[in-house]
Amino acid sequence: MSIENERPPESPLTLATFLPYRLSVMSAVVSEGLARLYNERFGIAIPEWRVLATVGEFRSVTAKAVGLHAHMGKVKVSRAAASLETRGLIRRVPNAADGREAFLALTPDGEAMYGEIAPLALSYAGRLTETLSAADRAALDRLIDLLLRRAGEMNAPGPPGEASPAGA
């Protein structure tokens, strides 16, 4: 019993090299900086920013479309939109053809704020990658697309007949 190696000397799993963990930290650090920017200068949080950005991008969208585009649940969209409306940054235009939904659009104040935040956001993203070569930037975009697609496939129920049913 001289050497009590109850487990192989190096554990095969180290958090610091575990991709999901690394992605999570990277995203958190980036979001943190950006959120501080929005928050300090404009008193706006990330869900509100995403709605503002989506409405700014499309000029007139339903809440549902915002959720799809900005990857947010409908509750979050509803709350963020309510907050933006209260602050006079967006307005609701009821859809005459479908009483359930309404289009969201920027008010003049909303346009003004969007006009200020958007360049700031773009500059933040630009500074983030300005030390990368063009090839690296392209690789990054491609890799993100690949991982997004791959993770989406892995999360999806998979072709019927596979291990998806509840019991498995």
Among 109, 139, 158, 164, binds a second copy (CB under 8 A): 139
Q: How far is the CB of 80 from a second copy (least distance, A)?
A: 14
CA distances from 51 to 63, 69, 76, 146, 151 (A): 9, 9, 10, 26, 25
Single out the residue of 67, 72, 73, 62 nearest to residue 98, CA to CA: 62
Q: How far is the CB of 32 from a second copy (least distance, A)?
A: 6
Start-to-end CA distance of the chain, whole Å, equals 42
Does 93 bind a second copy (CB under 8 A)? Our answer is: no
Judge contact between 53 and 70, C-beta under 8 A.
yes
Does 3 bind a second copy (CB under 8 A)? Our answer is: no
Report CA torsion sign: 100, 82, 119, 35. Answer: negative
Task: State the amino acid at position 136 in one-letter form.
Answer: D
**CA-derived radius of gyration, the chain:** 22
Does 144 bind a second copy (CB under 8 A)? Our answer is: yes
Among 78, 87, 107, 118, binds DNA (CB under 7 A): 78
Binding segment for DNA among 13-21, 52-60, 75-83, 107-115 (CB under 7 A)? 75-83
Phi, psi values for residue 79, rounded to 5°: -70, -45
Does 89 bind DNA (CB under 7 A)? Our answer is: no
Q: Which residues bind DNA (CB under 7 A)?
A: 45-47, 62-65, 72-79, 81-82, 97-102
Contact residues: a second copy, CB under 8 A: 11-16, 18-34, 36, 50, 53-54, 56-57, 69-71, 118-119, 121-122, 124-125, 127-129, 131-132, 136, 139-140, 143-144, 146-148, 150-152, 154-155
